Amino acid sequence: MRISQLFTKTLKQAPADEVAKNAQLLIRAGYVYKEMAGVYAYLPLGIRVLENIKKIVREEMNAIGSNELIMTSLQRKEVWEKTSRWNDDVVDVWFKTRLKDDTEVGLGWSHEEPIIEMLKNYVHSYKDLPISLYQFQPKMRNELRAKSGIMRGREFVMKDMYSLHTSAEDLQTYYDQTIEAYKRVYNRLGIGADTYVTFASGGAFTRFSHEFQTICDAGEDVIYLHREKNIAINEEVIDSAVEELGIERSELEKVKTAEVGNIFNFGSQKTNDMGLFYTDNKDERQSLYLGSYGIGVTRVMGVIAEKLSDDKGLVWPEAVAPYRVYLVSIGDVAEQATELYESLQGAGVSVLYDDRDERPGEKFADAELMGLPYRVTISERLVANNQFELTYRASGETELLTRAELLAKIG
Ligand code: ATP
Ligand code: MG
């Protein structure tokens, strides 16, 4: 992509009403546009980051045998009434509206009930099980507060996955596999070292659910952590968890975190409430066991922006960066820069080419703000010496390289 063709422009200042660092940086660098509090549009650079995150999540969910689909945002009231979750006292984030004929409908904040309802058409016998389904879907939640930038949206992208099993044991096995898949996701996203599988409230069948909590000052959660034993507990359940795990509270360190994922074992309660059953090999009706597994895709993007940025701007890990290389041309070297741009792209390296007629300082500042892993500079002086300047965004280190050395490093 040539920057001269990119419609977004970098900003020196974030809008005055934006208080979250992640959104300030993402707005300034042209990744997102703020429509209103908690509601953000994803611009060309932002989409590429989201797609990279989704690709990683998709690969790991496919690897544990899950099927991708897309459910609807408009949802039926009757479906949610079966579990009493249509009630605003039970779920306090609903957006509800009406069709022209006055039928009340909701905007999807989650999809357990609609998925189970749909599966009545597909799941009949033990031969149809187990199954796992997932989607990337914009969720709508009428959140009370939305001051954390894209980390808390009123409209946001979640990966939600649901699995159905013939027994509690089979669900538990899949649940454990999902924990491992989630760890691989966060590792690949570059936040694995600071992300903890955390005991949390909300399990229906089991006493606890498991959250994936990433250490982050801008996070809204607090967990208690035992780094050596690798135990993490959400403060909401600290008393009961400490008792159950037999550990001393004084051994635990209190840290601020952001919840980047949450998985639940619903047992057979929800499927019973919804009236979804299967017949076993003796043709008898049996209950189904449900697991539900979320990842906050846009929240993860915000957490990465918060955690890995520095005073100059964003710093993307390679796996999620919108482009790998920021190519800067200085002076009368358009021909050489264009040639490198095209040959890198030909070799499968994604490049954002700053072909604008701007001062070098301006280009360098934008490169730092946008946070691509590598900056390659071409200038008249460098061309005369047959050299390329390579700068690493994360460390700020710079090297002078031959073309072959450059391609070996960034190719
Ligand atoms: P929170 O406690 O932060 O409100 P939650 O527990 O209500 O989140 P879940 O229903 O568990 O959220 O949703 C699954 C995942 O979706 C969460 O782990 C989180 O990463 C993400 N998520 C939830 N709410 C939001 C939101 N408003 N904006 C962005 N991501 C969200
Ligand atoms: Mg949660």
Sequence ranges of the domains in the chain: 3-308, 325-410
| Ligand nearest, relative to CA of residue 302 | 1
Write down the mean pLDDT value for the chain: 96
CA of 51 from ligand 2 middle (Å) equals: 23
Residues whose beta carbons lie less than 5 angstroms from ion ligand 2: 262
pLDDT score, position 411: 86
pLDDT score, position 409: 94
Torsion of CA 302, 308, 314, 320, to 10 degrees: -70
Helix ranges (DSSP H) in 189-251: 238-245
pLDDT score, position 204: 67
CA of 400 from ligand 1 middle (Å) equals: 45
Which atom of ligand 1 lies closest to the CA of 300?
Answer: 20
Percent of the chain scored above 70 by pLDDT? 99
Cα separation of 345 and 374, whole Å? 14
What would the pLDDT profile of 134-167 be if each residue is shown by its tens digit? 999 999 999 999 999 999 999 999 999 999 999 9
What would the pLDDT profile of 196-240 be if each residue is shown by its tens digit? 999 999 866 678 999 999 999 999 999 999 999 999 999 999 998
DSSP-assigned states of every residue in 5-56: G------SS--TT---HHHHHHHHTTSEEEEETTEEEE-HHHHHHHHHHHHH
Written out in words, the top-level CATH class of the domain with range 3-308 is: alpha beta
CA-CA-CA-CA torsion sign (82, 83, 86, 89): positive
> 137, 70 in Cβ contact below 8 A?
yes
Whether the pLDDT of residue 314 is over 80: the answer is: yes
CA of 22 from ligand 2 middle (Å) equals: 21
CA of 299 from ligand 1 middle (Å) equals: 8
The identity of residue 89, as a single letter, is D
| Ligand nearest, relative to CA of residue 185 | 1
CA-CA-CA-CA torsion sign (264, 267, 272, 273): negative
pLDDT score, position 213: 98
CA of 266 from ligand 2 middle (Å) equals: 14
What would the pLDDT profile of 239-266 be if each residue is shown by its tens digit? 988 888 888 889 999 999 999 999 999 9
Torsion of CA 169, 172, 174, 177, to 10 degrees: -130
Q: Which of 329, 309, 310 is nearest to 389 (CA)?
A: 329
Query: What is 325-410's CATH number?
Result: 3.40.50.800
CA of 238 from ligand 1 middle (Å) equals: 20
**CB-defined site of ligand 1, < 6 Å:** 110, 141, 143, 152-153, 156, 158, 259-262, 294, 296, 298-299
Taking CB atoms within 8 Å and a gap of at least 24, the contacts of 8-11 are: 8/43, 8/44, 8/45, 10/365, 10/366, 10/369, 10/370
pLDDT score, position 245: 86
**Structure tokens that stand for 301 in this block:** 């993007």
Which atom of ligand 1 lies closest to the CA of 209?
Answer: 11
Whether the pLDDT of residue 188 is over 90: the answer is: yes
In the sheet that 74-76 helps form, which strands lie side by side, from edge to edge? Answer: 74-76, 104-107, 95-98
Instruction: For a ligand 1 pocket test, name from 91, 145, 191, 299 the mutation site with the most ligand atoms within 8 angstroms of its C-beta.
Output: 299
Whether the pLDDT of residue 70 is over 70: the answer is: yes
